[in-house]
A and B are shown apart, each in its own frame.
Chain A
Amino acid sequence: MSAVATLKSWTGAVLAAPVFWLALIVNVPLKAWQRATGTGGMAAFFLAPNMAIFGIFVLVPLVINFFYSATSGTAYFLQDRSYVGLEQYQRLLDCSNYLDTATCREDLFWKAVHNTGLFVIVQVALLTVVSMATALILNREIIGRSFWRAVFFFPVLLSPVVTGLIWRWILQRQGLLNMIVHDFGGEPHNWLTDRFWAFTAAVSVSVWAHMGFYTLILLAGLQAIPRDLYEAAEMDGTRPARVFWRITLPLLMPNLLVVIVLALIRAVQIFDEVYVLTGGGPGTSTLYLTQYIYEIGFASLLRNPGLASAASILMGLVLVVLTLVQLQVGRRGERKGARQ
């Protein structure tokens, strides 16, 4: 053994020694615990810290939220609030025609529900199509493929507030887009005070910000499709469109379903980037459910924590349904995989 190798070996041993001694010390109580509780107990031991954090920061607030939704008042301490049962839910659901928000007692809640519904439909459809197209392109042998993959993934790493601010600077009246329009002789437009364009901006920015993540999921699925299927199709002279519909799409379906369900859940929760970009305006045309809850719970001078809690629980129910769908889709994918 050379001198360098000996030195490396000694250095490794010295560095590993504290870890070794620590493991020896920890091993004593852990062994005792395993003897007493079995392997199930060991799993519980290692899961306990995570579960404690989850419990404190998710479960406990969730339970408290239920209590808040059954109380009224402007105070934040539960003991200072009066019990009203399901009154807050009744108030939210009091509507003579759910399609006409003006007939609803809490018209802004229903406006937010309608806006969120429309946003989810348009954003998820667009996000899925764009992510799929991008994944298909990035799966081909193109020049600088790794570079392009990084470029499309980069917006995912940005903070939603940064995303919102960047696009606000681009789209505002004296923003970059209007400067370009003006330089080309066009008439600048107030994009963010126009209901159609504000909605279009909210959807587009959201797609831009998140598509990298979904593209990655679809790209992984594309790369898992056996190459020999494409080679056989090529030998048969199958047209590319037919290859896509008959080979790529069916085999990518499990990934695609995951993408759709995850995008749905995320779209229902849309808040930060749109809040920074449009502030919910013009009027209330980009006011979405999470912003409504935030405004009514904390931000507005007309704040009402009980109503905000009830609205968040109703929204939570929608998310539970979507999560169950996601789990079902996941299980179906696993079963299909097992059969194959």
Chain B
Amino acid sequence: MKKTRTLLAALSVSLLASTSAFAGDVRIMWYSDGVEGDVIQDILNRFMKDNPDIHITLDNVAYKVIQEQLPIQLEAGQGPDIARVTNIKELAQHWLDLRPLVADAKYWDDNFGDTLDWMRPDGSKAITGFMTQLTLTGGFANKTLFEQAGVALPGDKATWDDWINAAAEVAKSQQLPAAFAIDRSGHRISGANVSFGANYIGADGKPAKVDDGTKAFVGKLVDWTAKGLMLKDTWVSAAGSTYRAATDDFINAQIPFYYSGSWQVANLSTKIGDSFDWVATGSPCGTAGCSGLKGGAALVAIKYTKNPKDVAKVMDYLASEAVVKEFSERTLFLPAHKGVIAKGGLKWGSTDKNVGPALDKFVQAAGETLPAADALPPWKWANAYFAALVTRVSQVMAGELTLDAAWVKIDQDIADKVAEAK
């Protein structure tokens, strides 16, 4: 009898183990652009100390894993319990509705209400997570290089042409390989496209055909690349929609102007140190405005979790005002929490003199985004549009396609994606 009991106990333990999630186990899939992995681990350690019944494992992974492997895990009904993602709308069907689980749903609605739509299916009222950071695309200039070249930094309402011409002068004077670079990403060029009047969203909510606004900016971009003004490496040296950042080229002072986004502030501060002075420039202007593109990374709960109550407890803690404030201050990320923003007084955790003005510039630029750009983060087809743009525009830059052929292919790629999703 004793033997049978022991056997049964062993069997129960192995069955429980096979589900890979004991009660109290919470696994978070996390990627980092800068120091946020260390900061969140520190915050989670404190949470675990106060809540010994919950054990959190933080899996720090590459951004590529989040982009390429997580969607497949989710489709298979697998994955972590919580994940930090940027593809928040397209995968919204996999997020857990925390509304019945969190301690105070009103707190979430009040403080994260503006961005909750970004991470839930259209028409849903679910609370699926919160933005760990709000981001805005924008430029950075190497102030030291501009000064050495004796070229004045273009002012607040400077156009894309003004910036590229000024940067070209600096590059020529300082014998740099190129004047500027933009990350290889459809997201990065979309704010600029909108600044030239682009609108990706058709009247029916489905993707519209490539319009004159997109054609105007992309045409300039291709021209700048052909003239050697834009660093060829970033866009040309890859196929498909592969993401490539030009951050290292800016950090190594190879380009005087770099267009990326607010999430780079901490990274630039850490890696550039006092090697040179740099400034955030906001987004250069087009014919319709000076728009960047908002976005960011969200921390979302996954609906396949075995421990939804524990997940909700962790999410409640991480979304609390004090934690959001601390996280933003230490990571130099713009918070998405209304209460934190309203109270202000964020003490940025950096002694770098470039950081404060850079973040202020991004906060200011956030008020200049155009409605067509603001409509993109919660739009289901944004990523399809971005991917088609990158794939085809790179081909044009490499001399494989003409611009006219690229417009046809972009429309076709997006139409295929919409048809495939039916």
Q: Which A residues fall within an 8 A CB radius of B?
A: 72-77, 102, 107-108, 111, 172-174, 190, 192-193, 195, 198, 278-287, 291, 295, 298-304, 306
Q: Are B237 and A193 in contact (CB under 8 A)?
A: yes
Whether B237 and A282, one on each chain, are in contact in the complex, defined by CB atoms closer than 8 angstroms, is: yes
Give bound CA distance, A229 to B413, whole Å.
63
Q: Within the complex, what minimum Cβ distance (angstroms) separates A170 from chain B?
A: 15
Q: How far is the CA of A316 from the CA of B201 in the complex (A)?
A: 40
A107: chain B residues at CB < 8 Å are 409
Among the interface residues A75, A193, A281, which one has the most CB atoms of the partner chain B within 10 A? A281
Indicate whether B395 reaches chain A with its CB closer than 8 angstroms: yes
Interface centre among B238, B400, B416 (most CB of A within 10 A): B238
Residues B236 and A193 in contact, CB atoms below 8 Å apart: yes
Is B177 interfacial (CB 8 A cutoff)?
A: yes
* Cα distance, A337 to B167, chains bound together (Å): 71
Q: How far is the CA of A279 from the CA of B184 in the complex (A)?
A: 13
Chain A residues whose CB sits within 8 angstroms of the CB of B399 once the complex forms: 195, 283
* Least CB distance, A132 to chain B, in whole angstroms: 33
18 contacts between A and B (CB under 8 A): A73-B421, A73-B422, A75-B75, A102-B405, A108-B240, A173-B177, A190-B232, A193-B237, A281-B236, A283-B399, A283-B400, A284-B395, A291-B239, A295-B239, A298-B68, A302-B413, A304-B416, A306-B420
Residues of A within 8 A of B409 (CB): 107
Q: Which residues of B contact A283 (CB under 8 A)?
A: 236, 239, 394-395, 397-400
B238 with A280: CB separation less than 8 A: yes
Q: How far in angstroms is the closest Cβ of chain B from A203?
A: 17
For B421, the chain A residues whose CB sits under 8 A away are 73-74
Q: Is B332 an interface residue (CB 8 A)?
A: no
Interface string of B387-422 (1 = CB under 8 A from A): 110010011011111000100010001001100111
Given A298-B72, A302-B391: A287 and B240 interface contact (C-beta under 8 Å):
yes
Tell me the nearest residue of chain B to A279, going by C-beta: B238
Residues of B with C-beta under 8 A to A108: 240, 391
Knowing A298-B68, A299-B68, A302-B417, the reply to whether A281 touches B76 (Cβ < 8 A) is no
Query: Are B241 and A301 within 8 A (Cβ)?
Result: yes
B398 touches which of A72, A102, A285 (Cβ 8 Å): A285
Contact of A302 among B67, B241, B400, B422 (CB under 8 A): B241
Contact A76 B416 (CB under 8 A): no
A209 to chain B, nearest CB (A): 20
- Interface majority SS on A: helix, strand, loop or mixed? loop
Residues of B within 8 A of A300 (CB): 240-241, 387, 391
Partner of A301, one of B75, B244, B252, B386: B386
Binding site for A on B (CB under 8 A): 67-69, 71-72, 75-76, 87, 177, 232-233, 236-242, 244, 252, 254, 383-384, 386-388, 391, 394-395, 397-401, 405, 409, 413, 416-417, 420-422
A282 in contact with B236 given A75-B75, A76-B76, A173-B177 (CB within 8 Å): yes
Residue of B nearest to A301 (CB): B387
B233→A173 contact, CB < 8 A: yes
A278 to B237, CA, bound (A): 6
Q: Which residue of A lies closest to B90 (CB)?
A: A301
Name which residue of chain A comes closest to B254, CB basis: A174
State A325–B387 Cα separation when bound (angstroms): 40
| A295 contact from B240, B394, B401, B405, Cβ within 8 A | B240
**Given A74-B420, A190-B232, does the pair A281, B383 have CB atoms closer than 8 Å?**
no
Query: A280 to B413, Cβ gap below 8 A?
Result: no
Knowing A301-B384, A302-B384 are in contact, say whether A284-B398 is a contact too (CB < 8 A): yes
Alpha-carbon separation in the docked complex, A306 to B417 (Å): 12
Q: Nearest CB to that of B395 among chain A residues?
A: A283
Q: Distance (Å) between the CB of B397 and the closest chain A CB? A: 7
Provide the residues of chain A in CB contact with B398, threshold 8 Å. 195, 281-285
Known: A72-B420, A287-B239. 14 other contacts (CB 8 A): A73-B421, A73-B422, A102-B405, A174-B254, A192-B233, A280-B238, A280-B240, A281-B394, A283-B394, A285-B400, A291-B240, A299-B242, A301-B87, A301-B384
Known: A74-B421, A284-B398. A279 touches B384 (CB 8 A): no
Among B239, B388, B405, the residue within 8 A (CB) of A281 is B239
Partner of B416 from A73, A173, A279, A302 at Cβ < 8 Å = A302
Bound-state Cα–Cα, A74 to B75, Å: 9
Please, which residues of chain A bring their CB within 8 A of the CB of B237? 192-193, 198, 278-279, 281-282
Whether A76 contacts B240 by the Cβ 8 Å rule is no
Cα–Cα distance between A248 and B240 once the two chains are bound (Å): 46
